[in-house]
Structure 1
Amino acid sequence: MAKNFKKTLGFVALLQCFIAFGQHDKILSKVGQILPYKVLKTSDENVTLEQLLVDVSAFKSPSTITEKTKPSSIYWIQIDLTKELNTISTDSTWYLRFRQYGYTSIFYSENNSVKEKKIGRFENQPERNSILYSQGIPFNESYIFNDKYIYLKIRRVAFFDNVSNWRFYYYNKLKIDLIQNFYSHRDLNRLIPIYLFTGICLVMFLLTIMYYFYSKRTEFLFYALYILFLFLYLTPDIFRLYDTFFGGMNLFSYAFFQISQVIINLCYILYIIYYLNTKVEYPKLHVALKIIATMLVGIIILDALCFATKSFSMHIYLLDIERLIMSLFGLSGMIYLLIKAKSKLAYFIVIGSFLYMIGALGMLFLQERIYMITGASLEILIFAAGLTYKLQQENKERLQFQEEAFLNKTKALRAQINPHFIFNSLSSIQHLVIKNDKVSTLKYLSKFSRLTRNILESSIETNALLSDEIKMLQDYLELESLRFDNAFTYTISCDDTIDANAIEIPFMILQPFVENAIIHGLLPKHQGPKNIDITFRAQDDLLICEVDDNGVGRTASNNKQHIHKRDKKSRGLEVTKQRLDALKTDINTLDIIDKKDKNGASLGTTIIVKIPLK
């Protein structure tokens, strides 16, 4: 029962919300009736309302003023309430609402004299209890002159405007409360894009500025500043940013938010310079961008001076010139990049800039902020995608460079092994010649030439198939066996689970260990058989390669004589260890085991090489 009661209350509350939305739209449509007015244009700041009340015929229809407003001109507005007097008499207080102008005064009578109340953008603004709407200017009978007129004194300094476009409305307290406390569908349609834009700006600014502090990449700094000033320029009234930063809307705060649109373009230009690396990739564009950036810095300085001296006309002209230059440059720059694009990075700039330009022009000519907010949101997302793509490409190139460096290092190490092997083989041939063993010498030369040819043919690649590596080891062992009068025996075995034609290992990775086993392990042994066994098997994701000999062991080898000088360092073994280290794997790629019996006597050495299977 209680659950059903709660559902009923929820339904009623929801219904009231829809009714409130409907009432709001309905009231707005009724109260939206335009109040008729007339205008008197003058440039004399000393004109008073008392003087104008003497002869109200000086006021003319706004349609008679064809030229646009100028910051130096003063416009006296005579609002006619003749048709609304009966309605106004039903309440003691009403509210006059209209667009904010730079300097505005409303007049009222007190103690038989005319008083002036400043209500302009840079003066005492009306209360604002709603995100979208101000309360308006309260008025009563004391504000009505000649029983039917309200008088305003206006200086339009923000931009050039048509007086005939001005609109004036009035509301009672009940309607003001409804407007400020309930949003219409139209209001929500205005607010939702702004909140989405705010979310995009917040997320992208935080991500970008954090990455800048991490990487110190200049393009990320200017992109973060670009997003920040876009947000400040497009949403100050919605979030009352002028109250937060400047304690209210005044000339200084207005100047900041106006100049911020020039800073937006400056950050945009600097972002392109670093993002596209124009100094290297697009030298001609780089020169143009530097000129534009310098011009924008000059405009920022001049515009600040304009506000300091209240030269509002110059301020408007400066911004118009800046918009014209940026529009022309933006269009020509996009065409240039489309023609000269050296990478996909340029297309992100072109697409994002085009969408932003369309939005900015929509806001300029249609006076609807939603167009620029939409264009800016799309541009921010596209530029973010462009930065992500750039990082991916740079990371890919970095990995390629690392791989090439690894391959070159591997080739350099292999180049050290081959001369070492060839030198040893030629020494063996020399040894046979000295012994005058012609048959063995010719046999050795034949096998050596075949092995050398295989090595040279395989030298282009850093890796070799396991099957080819086994054949090369067989040729090498045959040569060494022939060289030392078959003084040792050898075996090479491969696990049946391994496909030797599908697995690649570093080229000649085992040969130095095999050579070391023969020279230092087997040959110094005077008694018993001399065996070397090479095995290949798979374990987890590794190829286990073992070189096992029953020689004298490493300790005994250091104290015995053999055909190589003991004080000569094994260069091939050292290089091979470096090649294994270059694999950059987390596992231990090389194990050397000294085999011993129960009495501690050496039984030989086992070399275990672990190679990751890719």
Structure 2
Amino acid sequence: MRYRLQLLLLLSLLLSGFASLLNAQTTVSETEVFVPFKVYKSEGDSLSVAAIISRPELFITSNINSGKTNTNNTYWVRADLNPVLNHLKSDSVWYLQTGSFYDITYYFQGKNSIEFKEYGPVNTKEKYSFYTPKDGVYFKAENLINERYLFFKIRFYSSNQNFNNLKLKLRTEASKKIESNYYRWKDVVEASRDYLFVGAFFIIFIFTFITYFVSKRLDFLFYSIYTLCLLLYLGRSAYNTVVFLTYDYTVFSLWLHSSLQVFINLFYVAFAKYYLETFKMYPKLNKAIHGIAIFLLIVILVNSYFTITLQLDPHTLVMNIHRLVMSVFAVCAVIYLVIYAKNSLAYFIIIGSLTFTAGALAMLFTEDRHYMMVGSVVEVLLFGLGLNYKLRKDNKEKIQLKQTAHDNQISALRAQMNPHFIFNSLSSIQHLIISGKKESSIKYLNKFSLLMRNLLESSIEANVVLSEEISLLEKYLELEALRFNNSFQYEITVDASVDPEAVEVPSLIVQPFVENAILHGLLKKTGNDKHLRIHFNRKNNHIICEVEDNGIGRSVSETKKSDMKKSKKSRGIEVTEKRLQLISNSEKDTIEIIDKTNEKGEPTGTLVIIKISI
């Protein structure tokens, strides 16, 4: 029950606040009244306010031929409040909204004389305050000159400003303060759009900027800066910093607003250059981008000069030329890419640019910047998808190149293995022939030719199924047994956990260890008890091959080698170790060699454990 009462109380407060807000908005609309005025154009700034007040005939016939203004002239506005004098009696303090001008001076009746107040961003000495209006003045009935007039002196910095849309709006002090201090519903909607836009673009900027530092890709750098410029230009009303700059640092604010438009285009073409890789994919477009970049840099310099000196007419001309040139370039670039697009990356640029252009044109005709914001959001999202697509494409190509290089390296090592094996086999045949064992040498040569045929057939692929590898080992062992008069026995076994027809292993990966066991272990042993065992089993993602012999062991074998051969490692085993490391991605402990001993510590053979990744 207690929580229900609290909820009802909260709802009643919200409803009352909302009702007050609606009432305040109603009050604003009810008290709006327009004040009639006359305008007189003065050559230069030679007339004083006293001269203007003393000569009412100046305002009888207007001397302004058109709505356009001249920056060398001074314009006097006489607001006539006589028609609303009775209305003024309903309140003590009123607000006359004149609109925003760079330089305006307000003249009113003081206690003993005519007083004035300057406002507008160019000449105001007051620092910006959120609650201080800058588009009009507060006054009382006793401030009226001759009990009916208020005078304003306006100086223009651009001939594009005119009086056609000038309206003097009379408002109560309360209604103006409500507008200044409270949010209306349309203000909430407007602000929520701006904050969503700023928040989304800020996240995109941070993400892409971090991605640049990780990847060192210039397309991500220019994309992030392009996003930041759009954020500052289109989302400027979402933060009061811009309003503060407008009033306290007018020149800088004007420069920033116009320069951001140029920077947006500059970083856009820079992004397109590196994203599309125009230097190698589109050479003609690449030259055009270089020319446009130089043009934009010149525009920034010239515009900066005209802005700092407050020459707004040349400033406007430069910006219009900039917009025209960029529009022509954008159209030509899109047509060029449509005709000569070499991959799907170009279509992200085409669609994104068209979307942004549509939003910009909608803003131009409707004067609603939210259309351009929507176009920018869609464009930035498309460019982001394009960057992600390109990044994945480049990574895939890098992986393929790395895999190709990896396969080539393994192939090169296998190519080193085959000559080593062939040389040893031919040496054995030579030995049989020299020994006069003609029948054995012919039999050996037949088996060798059959083995070589199998090797050539399997050399096309880097891997073979385990059953083929075992078949090659059996043929090799038959050759070696024939060569050495069947002086040793061998067996090859496969654990039940391994399917020889389903598991692939690198070809000839075990043969060097088998050869080493025969030559350096078994053949140097006296007697007839010479046995070689090869066993395959599986452990996790590895095939474990054990090559075990009961030969003389490594320690005895080393002592029997000549001094020259002590430091020489078997070429076949050295190559195989490198192959295993490449296959296992530099995994350690792919080969383990165990010296077997008896109870007395005497060597009884060697066990080699080979771990092959699958």
- TM-score normalized with structure 1 length: 0.91
> Which is further off, 194-203 or 25-34?
25-34
On the 8 A contact 1:39/1:59 being kept in 2, the answer is no
SS of 1:385 mapped into structure 2: helix
Give the 3 Å change call, closer, same or farther, for CA 429–267 of structure 1 in structure 2.
Answer: same
Corresponding residue number in structure 1 for 2:433? 433
Corresponding residue number in structure 2 for 1:345? 345
Corresponding residue number in structure 1 for 2:609? 608
Corresponding residue number in structure 1 for 2:381? 381
Instruction: Return the alpha-carbon distance in structure 1 between the equivalents of residues 43 and 226 of structure 2.
Output: 40
Give the 3 Å change call, closer, same or farther, for CA 549–158 of structure 1 in structure 2.
Answer: farther
The percentage of counterpart residues that share the same residue type is 39
Give the 3 Å change call, closer, same or farther, for CA 185–112 of structure 1 in structure 2.
Answer: same
On the 8 A contact 1:279/1:286 being kept in 2, the answer is yes
Corresponding residue number in structure 1 for 2:464? 464
Instruction: Return the alpha-carbon distance in structure 1 between the equivalents of residues 291 and 523 of structure 2.
Output: 79
State yes or no: 1:280 paired with 2:283: no
On the 8 A contact 2:70/2:158 being kept in 1, the answer is no
The within-5 A match list for 1:88-167 is: 88-110=88-110, 113-124=113-124, 136-141=136-141, 143-157=143-157, 160-161=160-161, 163-167=163-167
SS of 1:594 mapped into structure 2: strand
On the 8 A contact 2:465/2:503 being kept in 1, the answer is yes
Corresponding residue number in structure 2 for 1:530? 530
For 2:18, give the aligned amino acid.
F
Instruction: Return the alpha-carbon distance in structure 2 between the equivalents of residues 166 and 224 of structure 1.
Output: 41
- Residue by residue over 1:6-45, the C-alpha shift from the partner in whole angstroms, topping out at 9 and shown as x without a partner, is 1121111221243244334434443555544444445533
Corresponding residue number in structure 2 for 1:14? 14
The within-5 A match list for 1:171-182 is: 171-182=171-182
On the 8 A contact 2:108/2:116 being kept in 1, the answer is yes
State yes or no: 1:414 paired with 2:444: no
For 2:612, give the aligned amino acid.
I
Corresponding residue number in structure 1 for 2:552? 552
Instruction: Return the alpha-carbon distance in structure 1 between the equivalents of residues 196 and 354 of structure 2.
Output: 21
Give the 3 Å change call, closer, same or farther, for CA 49–361 of structure 1 in structure 2.
Answer: farther
Equivalenced residue count is: 611
Instruction: Return the alpha-carbon distance in structure 2 between the equivalents of residues 73 and 135 of structure 1.
Output: 21
For 2:408, give the aligned amino acid.
N
On the 8 A contact 2:28/2:176 being kept in 1, the answer is no
On the 8 A contact 1:135/1:176 being kept in 2, the answer is no
For 1:55, give the aligned amino acid.
P
Q: Cα offset for 1:419?
A: 0.7
On the 8 A contact 1:94/1:172 being kept in 2, the answer is yes
Instruction: Return the alpha-carbon distance in structure 2 between the equivalents of residues 245 and 517 of structure 1.
Output: 85
Instruction: Return the alpha-carbon distance in structure 2 between the equivalents of residues 382 and 567 of structure 1.
Output: 63
> Which is further off, 24-33 or 479-488?
24-33
Corresponding residue number in structure 2 for 1:488? 488
> Which is further off, 222-231 or 427-436?
222-231
SS of 2:164 mapped into structure 1: helix
On the 8 A contact 1:255/1:307 being kept in 2, the answer is yes
- Residue by residue over 1:134-164, the C-alpha shift from the partner in whole angstroms, topping out at 9 and shown as x without a partner, is 6842222355345444333334446834532
On the 8 A contact 2:38/2:59 being kept in 1, the answer is no
SS of 1:501 mapped into structure 2: coil
Q: Cα offset for 1:96?
A: 2.6
For 2:271, give the aligned amino acid.
Y
On the 8 A contact 2:337/2:350 being kept in 1, the answer is yes
> Which is further off, 537-546 or 178-187?
178-187
For 1:593, give the aligned amino acid.
I
On the 8 A contact 1:432/1:483 being kept in 2, the answer is yes
For 1:278, give the aligned amino acid.
T
For 2:173, give the aligned amino acid.
K
Give the 3 Å change call, closer, same or farther, for CA 23–555 of structure 1 in structure 2.
Answer: same
The within-5 A match list for 1:182-581 is: 182-242=182-242, 248-560=248-560, 569-581=569-581
> Which is further off, 419-428 or 274-283?
274-283
Q: Cα offset for 1:243?
A: 6.7
Instruction: Return the alpha-carbon distance in structure 2 between the equivalents of residues 281 and 445 of structure 1.
Output: 57
Instruction: Return the alpha-carbon distance in structure 1 between the equivalents of residues 430 and 62 of structure 2.
Output: 118
On the 8 A contact 1:39/1:60 being kept in 2, the answer is no
Q: Cα offset for 1:429?
A: 1.2
Q: Cα offset for 1:80?
A: 4.2
SS of 1:163 mapped into structure 2: coil
For 1:202, give the aligned amino acid.
F
For 1:462, give the aligned amino acid.
A
Instruction: Return the alpha-carbon distance in structure 1 between the equivalents of residues 209 and 395 of structure 2.
Output: 20
> Which is further off, 521-530 or 434-443?
434-443
Q: What is the root-mean-square deviation in Å for CA atoms of aligned residues? A: 3.0
Instruction: Return the alpha-carbon distance in structure 2 between the equivalents of residues 109 and 147 of structure 1.
Output: 9
SS of 2:326 mapped into structure 1: helix
> Which is further off, 150-159 or 453-462?
150-159
Q: Cα offset for 1:83?
A: 4.2
On the 8 A contact 2:99/2:135 being kept in 1, the answer is no
Instruction: Return the alpha-carbon distance in structure 1 between the equivalents of residues 353 and 158 of structure 2.
Output: 26
> Which is further off, 238-247 or 442-451?
238-247
Instruction: Return the alpha-carbon distance in structure 2 between the equivalents of residues 249 and 28 of structure 1.
Output: 31
Instruction: Return the alpha-carbon distance in structure 1 between the equivalents of residues 247 and 154 of structure 2.
Output: 24
Corresponding residue number in structure 1 for 2:595? 594
Instruction: Return the alpha-carbon distance in structure 1 between the equivalents of residues 65 and 236 of structure 2.
Output: 32
Q: Cα offset for 1:49?
A: 4.2
On the 8 A contact 2:251/2:308 being kept in 1, the answer is no
Could you list the runs of 5+ residues in structure 2 that have no partner in the other structure? none
Give the 3 Å change call, closer, same or farther, for CA 83–466 of structure 1 in structure 2.
Answer: farther
Instruction: Return the alpha-carbon distance in structure 2 between the equivalents of residues 293 and 143 of structure 1.
Output: 56
SS of 1:118 mapped into structure 2: strand
> Which is further off, 308-317 or 343-352?
343-352
Give the 3 Å change call, closer, same or farther, for CA 101–552 of structure 1 in structure 2.
Answer: same
Instruction: Return the alpha-carbon distance in structure 2 between the equivalents of residues 351 and 125 of structure 1.
Output: 48
Could you list the runs of 5+ residues in structure 1 that have no partner in the other structure? none
Q: Cα offset for 1:312?
A: 1.3
- Residue by residue over 1:251-294, the C-alpha shift from the partner in whole angstroms, topping out at 9 and shown as x without a partner, is 23322332222122222222222222221221111111111111
Q: Cα offset for 1:579?
A: 0.8
SS of 1:558 mapped into structure 2: helix
Give the 3 Å change call, closer, same or farther, for CA 36–610 of structure 1 in structure 2.
Answer: farther
Q: Cα offset for 1:194?
A: 0.8
- Residue by residue over 1:353-387, the C-alpha shift from the partner in whole angstroms, topping out at 9 and shown as x without a partner, is 22222223333332222222222233333333333
Instruction: Return the alpha-carbon distance in structure 2 between the equivalents of residues 144 and 612 of structure 1.
Output: 96
Q: Cα offset for 1:74?
A: 4.4
Instruction: Return the alpha-carbon distance in structure 2 between the equivalents of residues 289 and 585 of structure 1.
Output: 45
SS of 2:497 mapped into structure 1: coil
On the 8 A contact 1:356/1:375 being kept in 2, the answer is yes
> Which is further off, 276-285 or 164-173?
164-173
SS of 1:417 mapped into structure 2: helix
- Residue by residue over 1:110-153, the C-alpha shift from the partner in whole angstroms, topping out at 9 and shown as x without a partner, is 35644442212323288876599868422223553454443333
Give the 3 Å change call, closer, same or farther, for CA 430–42 of structure 1 in structure 2.
Answer: farther
Q: Cα offset for 1:535?
A: 1.3
On the 8 A contact 1:552/1:603 being kept in 2, the answer is yes
On the 8 A contact 2:120/2:247 being kept in 1, the answer is no
SS of 1:227 mapped into structure 2: helix
Instruction: Return the alpha-carbon distance in structure 2 between the equivalents of residues 168 and 597 of structure 1.
Output: 113
Q: Cα offset for 1:406?
A: 0.8
Give the 3 Å change call, closer, same or farther, for CA 39–385 of structure 1 in structure 2.
Answer: farther
Give the 3 Å change call, closer, same or farther, for CA 338–209 of structure 1 in structure 2.
Answer: same
